[in-house]
Structure 1
Amino acid sequence: MSNTSNFREAIREAKSHALVGPNVIANALPYVGGGLVLTALGTYGGLGVIRTNPGIFFPTFIGAVIVELILFFVAQNVAQKGNKGLALPLLATYSLLSGYTLSGLVYVALRSQGVGIQGIV
């Protein structure tokens, strides 16, 4: 490895961060689990919208996709700057919206023969 490489410096810097190191799974698991729970809640909410008022689902779906795209880039920029206080709520909102957009697929899947509890039994 050449002397001009900053690989060793990058490794030293990464070891000083809380999520990097030997406990990376234990440190990241609460965030991953929380994101999955929020995505499930978004899916459940989307299924509720489809069930109660299916006419407004598609327009809100398009809006959610647009806001998701914006949030992705904004949250990525904020997270790269190290502002956890702002990045975490943005990512939580992103998880809810991604669940909402997934609810259309879940709805189609649940209406298919052999999907769901009846497919297990």
Structure 2
Amino acid sequence: MTYELPHDLERTRYAYPVPVVPGAPPAPPGLDGGPVISGAVAQGSSTSGAATAAMVLGVLGALGGWFLLGLPCLAAIVLGHQGMSATRDGMRGGHPMAVTGLVLGYLFVVPWSMVFPLGGVGAVLNAFGR
């Protein structure tokens, strides 16, 4: 193994020489004595915005959906299905959040969809004096 001294010792991070192996790939930036690119961050998998919104609206609908006519729950269902399709391939995160939004949305929309029409029927019957 041979060692090569860096050309500019002021720019290097380390006080020891950088090893050079014939046929080896070049060292990553920052370890070869060259300038380090600041602000470079490895990109991870992003979370689906639709899945996040589905969970937030599902929780909001569970806490106050009766007062908001079930609209957050309906939005949670729509966004939950969009989030499920966006996270299906595994390239984006948020699948559990999409499922949570769907479950909470359906859990509170189904009873609301039964109560709301019955209230309308009761109002119509009351209007006719029956």
- Which structure is higher in helix share? 1
TM-score > 0.5, shorter chain as reference: no
TM-score by length of 2: 0.33
Which structure: larger Rg?
2
- Which structure is higher in strand share? 2
Larger RCO (alpha carbons 8 Å, 6+ apart): 1
